[in-house]
Chains A and B, each alone.
Chain A
Amino acid sequence: QQPVQSPQAVILREGEDAVINCSSSKALYSVHWYRQKHGEAPVFLMILLKGGEQMRHEKISASFNEKKQQSSLYLTASQLSYSGTYFCGTELGLGAGSYQLTFGKGTKLSVIP
């Protein structure tokens, strides 16, 4: 039940916007977003809960469409520091509160000057 992320990779110039999508075939309780830079540990960005509101972390925001079991991560006015691989992690509805996440394959984001 690995969630599907798209696109697999994206290259942006500083200041441009991007959207990363994450979709699941299963009913979800929550969607987590993490960013991992090369050689480093993944770092938490935000959680979206079933029935919750759109979240924001600096100039990065995300939404969760419960009907479609899909989440989108919006990166606005990208900065060089946004470069890295973005992973969505999903928690199934039946496992609510277990925090046992299934991660997508990741989206590699490269921001160039």
Chain B
Amino acid sequence: SAVISQKPSRDICQRGTSLTIQCQVDSQVTMMFWYRQQPGQSLTLIATANQGSEATYESGFVIDKFPISRPNLTFSTLTVSNMSPEDSSIYLCSVVLTSGANTGELFFGEGSRLTVL
């Protein structure tokens, strides 16, 4: 299994500012994902961040708005840039195990709840 820690767990931000969310995993994983979830809604994939390669973004998400770093196999950051109220959401880090008994299983962090005023 994998245990994921996200920071901050919640924050209130001012319009136009940027915030960086950190994701720490207790084991080395190649594949990591960032999702967004509006309260009570579905999860939407923002980007895939595999160590050793540039992050790949889903339609509707761009690197200038959501820059991602993946410096090693246990850590990643997602920055939400130039925030607007529409960016208010829960951002979740997720990893997938690609070997062993848990192959294919996604593990999620507890999420970072952002409120933009």
Contacts and interface: CB of A to CB of B under 8 A. Distances in A.
Given A41-B92, A41-B111, A99-B31, A47 B42 contact: no
**For A42, A47, A102, which residue has the most chain B Cβ atoms within 10 angstroms?**
A42
B interface, over-half SS? strand
Nearest to A32: B106
A111 interface: no
B73 interface: no
Interface of A: 2, 30, 32, 34, 40-44, 47, 87, 89, 98-106
Contacts of B106: 32, 34, 42, 44, 89, 99, 101
B104 A99 contact: yes
B105 A100 contact: no
B42 A100 contact: no
Contact of B42 (A30, A41, A105): A105
B107 to A, nearest CB: 7
A41 B109 contact: yes
**Top-9 shortest CB links A-B:** A41-B108, A99-B96, A44-B105, A103-B43, A103-B42, A105-B42, A47-B104, A42-B108, A41-B110
A104 B44 CA distance: 9
B55 to A, nearest CB: 12
B92 A100 contact: no
A42 B31 CA distance: 18
Given A34-B106, A100-B45, 4 more contacts: A44-B107, A99-B31, A99-B98, A106-B41
